[in-house]
Structure 1
Amino acid sequence: MGIDFAELYRRDILKLKEEIGQFKTEAYLWRKVDGINNPAGNLALHIIGGLNYLVGTLIGHTGYVRDREKEFSARDVSQEQLITGLDELAVIVHRVLSGLSADEFGADYPLDFLGKNSVHFYMLNFYGHLNYHLGQVNYLRRILG
């Protein structure tokens, strides 16, 4: 089970990396458009910070410390830094998820913010969240490009 999640997460984190890399200028990474409150750069930072913490720290015990406010306020992060962050995230998430047993997926997730549920439930939720933001970044890239 863990390897399936690991492969899906890695695939879509690397797709997000590809989307970020296709922005024509770094300035476009930080532009907002009607209907989407956050620019692509902040959405990438949010995925990097969120999954590093929610998967890396809470499950994999990596020690990553999240600064959620900065995920949405930073504007001084280069395209290269975002790409590097996504590459590193793909490795961490893949390592953590591929190492989980079926029993560990069935265990309670260590943080209760959607109700007391299993690791499996939260990994499905986070995967959907990743793809929601991946779609937003794709949309922004296309309309700004």
Structure 2
Amino acid sequence: MQIETLKTLFNRDLNKLKQEIELYQNENNLWKIEKGISNSAGNLCLHLIGNLNNFIGSELGKTNYSRNRPLEFSLKHIPKTELIEKIEETILVLNKTLETVTPEILQQEYPILVFESKTTTEFFLVHLSTHLAYHLGQINYHRRLLDS
């Protein structure tokens, strides 16, 4: 897989994430949960930011990012402007890191064991892209259902 394809997908979806967060008319609704919806859009956004900064920024880019996964789901009422800034920072980290990833690195084993068995870096980056798209879809539905 070409790294340019991954960069294109990550940039597309992170910019769409930024747009979704910006589209909330009532900022408090970013943190709303109801009717069996267990995660707010704000918490999903924090989760995506933490996930990508950890698995791409820290592991591949050596950014020294320190993830606190429980806070991604427990923090509330982070200002919308701060979420957007964090998304923009994540885009910069991903682009800088992915610039350093060679075809050889893509075929190497990903540095940490995340699943039951080892994967290549290429496989794990594709997984991260689909994980981003999955939660992006949840945020889109969250906004349309709960921000009306």
- TM-score, reference length from structure 1: 0.96
Determine the structure 1 residue equivalent to 2:141.
139
CA distance in structure 1 between the aligned counterparts of 2:4 and 2:20, rounded to whole angstroms: 24
CA distance in structure 2 between the aligned counterparts of 1:47 and 1:72, rounded to whole angstroms: 11
Per the TM alignment, residue 126 of structure 1 is displaced from its structure 2 partner at its CA by 0.8
CA distance in structure 2 between the aligned counterparts of 1:47 and 1:77, rounded to whole angstroms: 15
- Conserved 8 A contact 2:57-2:93: yes
- When the two chains are superposed, the root-mean-square deviation of aligned CA atoms in Å is 1.0
| 3-state SS of paired residue (1:63) | coil
Determine the structure 1 residue equivalent to 2:95.
94
Per the TM alignment, residue 98 of structure 1 is displaced from its structure 2 partner at its CA by 2.8
CA distance in structure 1 between the aligned counterparts of 2:3 and 2:37, rounded to whole angstroms: 33
Determine the structure 2 residue equivalent to 1:116.
118
| 3-state SS of paired residue (2:38) | coil
Per the TM alignment, residue 63 of structure 1 is displaced from its structure 2 partner at its CA by 0.5
CA distance in structure 2 between the aligned counterparts of 1:36 and 1:105, rounded to whole angstroms: 36
Per the TM alignment, residue 141 of structure 1 is displaced from its structure 2 partner at its CA by 0.6
Structure 1 portions without partners, runs of 5+: none
- TM-score, reference length from structure 2: 0.94
Determine the structure 1 residue equivalent to 2:5.
4
Tell me how many residue pairs correspond in the alignment.
Answer: 145
Letter in 2 for 1:18: Q
Alpha carbons of 1:33 and 1:98: their partners in 2 closer, same or farther (altered >3 Å)? farther
Letter in 2 for 1:102: P
Letter in 2 for 1:89: T
1:21 aligns with 2:11: no
CA distance in structure 2 between the aligned counterparts of 1:52 and 1:33, rounded to whole angstroms: 29
CA distance in structure 2 between the aligned counterparts of 1:67 and 1:76, rounded to whole angstroms: 17
Determine the structure 2 residue equivalent to 1:32.
33
| 3-state SS of paired residue (1:112) | coil
Deviations, residues 3-31 of structure 1 (Å, cap 9, x unaligned): 22112101101100100010011110000
CA distance in structure 1 between the aligned counterparts of 2:39 and 2:69, rounded to whole angstroms: 13
Greater shift after overlay, 42-51 or 96-105? Answer: 96-105
User: After TM superposition, what 4+ stretches of structure 1 lie above 3 angstroms from structure 2?
Assistant: none
Letter in 2 for 1:66: R
- Conserved 8 A contact 1:7-1:94: no
Give % identity. 37
Structure 2 portions without partners, runs of 5+: none
1:53 aligns with 2:54: yes
